[in-house]
Amino acid sequence: MVTFTILVPFYLAGRLWFEFSPFAINYYSKEKANWYNEWNTQRFLIVLNLFLVSLSLSFFWGGKILEDIHAEKIDFTQILFYIILQILAVILFEVKMEHPFKPIQAFKKFKKNSYSERFEFREKQDAADKIEHHSNELKREFLKVGTKISNELNNQQIILSETNELAKHNNNILQESDFAFEIKKNPNMVIDDILRDYFISKDSERVLSDFLLRKKNSGKILFTKPARNGVSVQPILDFLSAFTNVMESCKSGTITQAETCKIINAVTSAKDRLGNIAEEPINSRNLSKYLSNSDVQDDI
């Protein structure tokens, strides 16, 4: 009874500290919704409430049971239910934690890595600054193309008609896409919001920017939302539905589901619940399930 009344709440408080300290730093100094790895505010509140439940059981019920035992008034049924509830609180708590039921491994990882290496704190960047940054990049590319055209005119003294053709050719190159599918235009696009809304890793920010703004393939976009088994495909397919015509083409039969899986896996990857990266997260099974659910919602 002493173990379940005193040591269990202390154990849960120790485990909770590894999540509370970065939560507090992030909540008051950075963004409030998403903070590091697969953790978020809702998940933290769940483990906090489980700790408070265990602490309340110990304070209001466990203390009374200990007093009854001291007075030699032992109620084994009451003791059994108390222990079962405490064990249930510990199990539910550990399921939501990193490294479930491995507190020593969690402590070693927490101690080994500094905050900056372990937690992906993300500062919001003003939307206007973000748009200006990408606008400047495009201006520099156009300037490079213009410089090449000017040098060619000076060196070879080509005629005006040839200059116009070369300029058109270079402009077409800048507008060409590396992808066989259409990327939809969205003038109000904010990269930070997309990273947050679709659980995309901060490390994929440049790849995502090239994909949406320049239509260039500079790598795979990494999705990090955890799943109970395997990987979470919902953010991936929602993202492709919102910003490309891949899902529309699949639904209309323009491309097969096998071709759709191949196209999506070529540009995306995802983390599973253990943190391992799945290079081909989409298969015919989870794609069919997503399309079926989508069709039901459309009918409604």
pLDDT for 79 beyond 70: yes
Output the pLDDT for position 250.
Answer: 92
- Which 3 state secondary structure label does DSSP give 240? helix
The answer to whether the beta carbons of residues 130 and 188 sit under 8 Å apart is no
The answer to whether the beta carbons of residues 290 and 237 sit under 8 Å apart is yes
Tell me the CB-side half-sphere exposure of residue 114, using CA atoms within 13 A.
2
Q: Helices 234-243 and 257-267, interaxial angle, to 10°?
A: 90
pTM score, whole prediction: 0.43
Rounded distance between C-alpha atoms, residue 30 and residue 53, angstroms: 29
The answer to whether the beta carbons of residues 285 and 267 sit under 8 Å apart is no
Whole-number mean pLDDT of the chain? 76
Output the pLDDT for position 157.
Answer: 65
Output the pLDDT for position 98.
Answer: 62
pLDDT for 195 beyond 50: yes
Output the pLDDT for position 134.
Answer: 67
Ranges of beta strands (E only) in 196-252 are: 221-223
Q: 225-274, pLDDT tens digit by residue?
A: 988 888 899 999 999 999 999 999 999 999 999 999 999 999 999 998 88
Closest among 182, 118, 125, 174 to 149, alpha carbons compared: 174
User: Which has more confidence, 32 or 81?
Assistant: 81
pLDDT for 206 beyond 50: yes
Q: 24-58, pLDDT tens digit by residue?
A: 555 544 444 444 455 556 666 777 777 788 878 78
Alpha helix locations (H) across 113-126?
Answer: 115-118
pLDDT for 124 beyond 70: no
Rounded distance between C-alpha atoms, residue 261 and residue 294, angstroms: 17
Q: How confident is the model at residue 15 (pLDDT cuts 50, 70, 90)?
A: confident
Output the pLDDT for position 85.
Answer: 81
pLDDT for 178 beyond 70: yes
Output the pLDDT for position 295.
Answer: 60
Domains in the chain: boundaries: 1-101, 122-179, 191-290
Output the pLDDT for position 125.
Answer: 45
